Amino acid sequence: MFSLKSLSAIALIAVFGLAACQKNDPFSANDQIENEEDEIILNSEFGNFDTSNEAPGFGDPELLAKSGEDIDAGDELANDADVQQALNGDSVPTYFVRLNWGHLEGDSTESETTDWSGSIEVNKGVLVALKTLQFEQGDYIVRPRDNRQKIDFVSVTRPHRDGLALAIINNDTTSTEGTLTINAGAYTRTFSFTELDSLDLIETVDEKGNEISITSRLKDVHRAHGGFFMGQWIRRSMNSGELKGRWISNDGLTTGHMLGFWGRSNRGAKAFAAKVISDTGEFIALLAGEWRYRNNAQNHGTMAGRWVNRNMQEVGSFHGVWHAGAPGDRKGFFTGRWHQKG
């Protein structure tokens, strides 16, 4: 005879099973929810995810609906022959930067707008706008661009976020240290190109809860050997939940989807497991790693780990940052970068 606690646990398992597809239900006999606190326990490195193919977007309508948010920025410089050669070759150092600003995790109660209009500028090389991220009517890049090193933009947010995906072509061979300066509303900060080599950052901007996320990486020698990911980091209990998001190429193209769960291992470590599939549902990777709170905060932190291919061989690593809402509100945000060996 089942107890109420057992029945409740079965119900939770059923809900997650629908989201993850039955064959990849991460809650097997070795991976379960401790129902008293809705805490997820991962007793195996990759949960119960396997290397099979899936329905596109894991058959999750919510995940599929959020796959088209990156729109081509229409920057005329992107078609420049030298820029194209840098983006597709390996002779010129190129940095890819993804910026998101506003209520990263979403806040439907926000009644005031926030003006982020400003500029992004480098002191050397060429700055290219690749994608706009969730720009709406009234948000735009100022044109014509009369400066190859500066982008002016207009952006206003309220309950959600906006952003830009950028490329910096460092074709200036002088010894001057390269810098990127962001002026977005009340936020101003300058980063060196060295910092942009591998940056994962979320910073609070104002008392309304607005934040800015900056993720960047130096392009690999092989164009397909690195990129980004982003999505929802959803909290079920204070120390566990689910994640769902997109697998993204350097130039902002959504190439696949992620589904996973974060909690702790049976040894008490903060652990998570996830699966990545292509936009057509073909298996790409299994991810496993650890998550951490940052600076003793309870609502944001970092994550890092490794990923394996269909043969369970380690082929790459990943790093990122996350921001979680309250348990049960289904708010949350994560972003990061992935690298493939070879």
Whether the CB-CB separation of 242 and 291 falls below 8 Å is answered with no
Say what the pLDDT of residue 247 is. 95
CB 157: neighbour CB atoms within 10 A? 22
pLDDT tens-digit map of 185-210: 999 999 999 999 999 999 999 999 99
Rounded CA-CA distance 79/304 in Å is 35
The two three-digit tokens of residue 159, written as one number: 């309950």
Mean pLDDT rounded to a whole number for the chain: 86
| Tens of pLDDT, residues 72-87 | 999 999 988 888 888 8
Worst-scoring range by mean pLDDT, 16-30, 120-134, 217-231, 284-298? 16-30
**Nearest of 106, 113, 112, 117 to residue 140 by alpha carbon:** 117
Of residues 279, 247, 241, 236, the one with CA closest to residue 260 = 241
What is the per-residue pLDDT for 173?
Answer: 87
- For 79, the 3-state DSSP assignment is helix
Tokens of 342: 């070879």
The answer to whether residue 38 scores a pLDDT higher than 80 is: no
Residues 139 and 162 sit within 8 Å (Cβ to Cβ): yes
pTM of the model: 0.84
Distance linking the first and last C-alpha atoms of the chain: 54
pLDDT band at 67 (very low <50, low <70, confident <90, very high): low
Q: What is the pLDDT of residue 37?
A: 60
Is residue 12 over pLDDT 90?
no
Share above pLDDT 90 across residues of the chain, in percent, rounded to a whole number: 63
The percentage of residues in the chain with a pLDDT greater than 70, rounded to a whole number, is 87
> Which of 10-14, 127-131, 251-255 has the weakest average pLDDT?
10-14
Distances (CA, A) of 105 to 17, 115, 142, 235, 342: 24, 18, 27, 11, 35
- What does the alpha-carbon distance between residue 147 and residue 117 come to, in Å, rounded to a whole number? 17
pLDDT of 69 strictly over 80: no
Is residue 29 over pLDDT 60?
no
pLDDT at 98: 97
DSSP assignment, residue 24?
G
Q: Which of 98, 103, 157 is nearest to 132 (CA)?
A: 98
Token code pair at residue 137: 């009517």
Where are any strands of DSSP class E within 66-186?
A: 70-72, 94-102, 114-115, 118-122, 126-133, 140-141, 150-154, 156-157, 161-169, 179-184
Q: Where are the alpha helices (DSSP H) in 52-145?
A: 61-65, 81-88
Q: Does residue 259 sit in helix, strand or coil?
A: strand
